[in-house]
């Protein structure tokens, strides 16, 4: 886990900090009095979440970030935001992608408080298939605004939860499966929110490859690696098929998805650990859930009750 904070009313210092924290940029201000910039960051692995508060107007011109950059505006506005082929302005409640990772962008922040979430583009490839089997490029977002208000709200809630309950909780950040699961969940929510180049429908070749032998290899790999930070791409590679073929095989033969099956396998491990724990040994449900990649205790409890017909706490107590 890495954290940082910044608080300054010096524009040159602010520019230097932003250039080191994001990418080389030039900033300026037309505000008569010196304004203050406050920035806090929490990050882990491929994801960082920043909270930024500027009490002055600031222009910016930023070189490519080489990362996906999401913005949630809390207060104020971001105006005249431009990158190749796009010009837009954002206000309170808006959820946007600032620019493709390889493009520069510019605009003006007008006394705003907002969230910036950065994630590695490779995360999208870990949770989705590319547009064609021979595609050499990564999955790309093809629009800067979510396709619906509901999708935007789901992404906003996911960012908030990852920030408040994963990145700032030492007990969670120390669990590799939590970090991996949270990052994949965020990436999947991004793909669900924005138009993109991922193709989820199986091709004829995928249907041909999604046979029982591939499924058996996938099931064996999941059983052997459930305690590790694996992705759907890892499972597909171990099965010698594409992600789409893998998903097709699971839907056709088991009526589920690879990640849903992985979640069930991890749930069974958590169940066994809860049963084996001494009731007065200091073990907690949250601790066990986190060890098996469940970073949302409420959702873990709901899934556990659905499968085992009792709260996980009762199992831990030996009832």
pLDDT tens digits, residue range 157-182? Answer: 999 999 988 888 877 777 888 888 88
Domains of the chain, first to last? 2-121 (2.60.120.10), 262-317 (1.10.10.60)
**Residue from 97, 91, 93 nearest 109 by CA:** 91
**What average pLDDT does range 18-28 have in this prediction?**
96
Angstrom CA distances, 89 to 12, 57, 76, 77, 136, stand at 25, 14, 11, 7, 33
Q: How confident is the model at residue 134 (pLDDT cuts 50, 70, 90)?
A: very low
User: What is the model's pTM?
Assistant: 0.81
Is residue 222 over pLDDT 90? yes
Window from 114-123, 149-158, 162-171, 281-290 with minimum mean pLDDT: 162-171
Is residue 133 over pLDDT 70? no
Report the distance separating Cα 36 and Cα 54, nearest Å.
6
Is residue 5 over pLDDT 70? yes
Q: What is the pLDDT of residue 233?
A: 87
Q: Kindly report the average pLDDT of the chain as a whole number.
A: 91
Q: How confident is the model at residue 21 (pLDDT cuts 50, 70, 90)?
A: very high
User: N- to C-terminal Cα distance for the chain?
Assistant: 37
Q: What is the pLDDT of residue 137?
A: 67
Cβ-based neighbour number of residue 258 at 10 Å: 27
Establish how many alpha carbons lie within 13 A of residue 167's alpha carbon, considering only the half-sphere containing its beta carbon. Answer: 26
């Amino acid at each position: 886990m890495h954290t940082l904070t910044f608080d300054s009313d010096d524009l040159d210092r602010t520019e230097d900090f932003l250039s080191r924290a994001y990418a080389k940029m030039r900033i300026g201000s037309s505000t008569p009095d010196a304004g203050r910039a406050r920035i806090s960051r929490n990050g882990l692995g491929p994801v960082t979440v920043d909270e930024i508060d500027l009490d002055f107007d600031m222009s910016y011109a930023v070189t490519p970030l080489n990362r996906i950059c999401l913005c949630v505006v809390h207060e104020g506005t971001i105006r005249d935001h431009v990158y190749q082929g796009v010009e837009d302005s954002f206000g309170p409640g808006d959820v946007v992608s600032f620019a493709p990772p390889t493009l520069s962008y510019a605009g003006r922040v007008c006394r705003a408080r907002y969230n910036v979430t950065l994630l590695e583009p490779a995360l999208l490839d870990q949770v989705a298939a590319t547009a064609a089997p021979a595609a050499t490029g990564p999955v790309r977002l093809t629009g800067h605004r979510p396709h619906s208000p509901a999708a935007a709200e789901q992404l906003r809630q996911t960012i908030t939860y990852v920030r408040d309950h994963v990145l700032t909780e030492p007990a969670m950040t120390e669990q590799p499966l939590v970090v991996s699961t949270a990052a994949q969940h965020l990436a999947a929510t991004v793909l669900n929110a924005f138009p993109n180049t991922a193709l989820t429908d199986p091709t004829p070749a995928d249907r041909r490859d999604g046979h029982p032998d591939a499924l058996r290899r996938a099931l064996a790999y999941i059983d052997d690696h459930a305690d590790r930070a694996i992705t759907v791409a890892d499972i597909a590679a171990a099965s010698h098929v594409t992600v789409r073929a893998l998903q097709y095989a699971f839907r056709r033969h088991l009526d589920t998805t690879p990640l849903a099956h992985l979640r069930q396998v991890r749930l069974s491990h958590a169940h066994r650990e809860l049963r084996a724990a001494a009731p007065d040994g200091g073990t907690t449900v949250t601790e066990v859930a986190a060890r098996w990649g469940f970073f949302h205790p409420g959702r873990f409890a709901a899934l556990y009750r659905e499968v085992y017909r009792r709260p996980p706490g009762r199992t831990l107590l030996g009832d």
